Chain A
C-alpha cells in the first residue's frame, strides 16, 4: 500500500513555463512534507519543505502548496530552466516507533525542461 503517490511518472515543460509536480498521500499522521531532487546515480538533494500547519512555502523559483483536506501537495517551479531536469521525489514525514522522523517517498516524477 503506497502511502505517498506521485501519479505522473514524467512531465515535459518548455523552458520559462511553469512546472507543476503533484503528490498525494493517504496517511493522516504525516505532518511534514519535503521535496527532493535527484540526478541519475546521485543521492537525493533537499529542495523545499512544508509543515502541515502551513498551506504554502516559497523559496525562490520553488513553491510548495499543501491541501490537507485533500491530502495533496504540489511543487511549482517557475520559470522552469533546463537545469531543473531531474527526478523529483515527494516525501512525507511522521514520527516513527524508533523516535525519529522517518521519510516515506513517492515513486518520483521525471521532469524534462525543453530549451
Chain B
C-alpha cells in the first residue's frame, strides 16, 4: 500500500528556535498534502492544505507566518514551525492525497511527529 513518511518522528527544541518537519510520499505522487495537528484527547485539526508548486491554503486561526509550508515537489512537503513556543508542542501529522484524484481515493497518513518545545 501507499506509504507516507515523516521526519523526524520526535523533536525537542528550545523556545524561540525553528523546527522543520518533512513529509514524503514514498511510492506515489501527491499534488496535495495536508498538515494536521492533534492535541491530547482532541481531534485531528486540519492546519493547512499544501499544493505542489503553489502557496499553501491555511485554515482559519492558523498563523501562516508561524507555520511555513513548502511543497517543493510531488513527493515532499515541509512544515516549519518558526520561533516555537511551548504552546506549539503537539503531535503533527501529514497526509498525502494521491495524484489520481477522485473522491473515492483515501488519504494516506504519515506516522506523525511529536514536537516538544521547552
Q: Which residues of A contact B (CB under 8 A)?
A: 9, 31-32, 34, 36, 41-46, 49, 51, 89, 93, 95-98, 100-108
Contact = CB atoms under 8 A, between A and B. Distances in A.
B67 interface: no
Contacts of B46: 102-105
Contacts of B103: 31-32, 51, 93, 95, 101
Contacts of A45: 109
Interface residues of B, number: 31
Given A9-B41, A32-B104, A43-B110, 10 more contacts: A45-B109, A46-B109, A49-B104, A97-B57, A100-B32, A101-B97, A103-B107, A105-B44, A107-B42, A107-B43
Contact of A98 (B32, B105, B107, B109): B32
B111 A42 contact: yes
A32 B104 CA distance: 7
A107 B45 CA distance: 9
B49 interface: yes
A44 B91 contact: no
B31 to A, nearest CB: 8
Contacts of B45: 105
B105 A43 contact: no
